Amino acid sequence: MEEKEPAKKRQYIGVWFDCCQTYGRLYKTKDGNFYVGRCPKCLRQARARVGEGGTDRRFFRGS
């Protein structure tokens, strides 16, 4: 039996990882306060705050 997953879209933002000069994604956390993710190359953790204009911030730069 095949069951389709409910349309549960995870919100994410595309980000630029300075560390490896590459793009990646940060996914919204359950509480909706942050976007979290990892650099696809070096797996460095990144986090961006939602709100305070943060949601429009497309390019997060890892420090």
User: For binding to Zn ion (CB under 5 A), which residues are involved?
Assistant: 17, 19-20, 39, 41-42, 44
Tokens linked to 58 = 């497309």
Find the shortest distance in angstroms from Cβ 58 to Zn ion: 18
Write the DSSP symbol of residue 7. Answer: -
Return the number of the residue (17 or 60) whose C-beta is nearest Zn ion.
17
Number of other residues whose CB lies within 10 A of the CB of residue 38: 14
From the CB of 39, what's the least distance to Zn ion, in Å?
A: 3
CA-CA distance, 56 to 4, in Å (whole number)? 31
Closest distance between Zn ion and the C-beta of residue 50, in Å?
A: 22
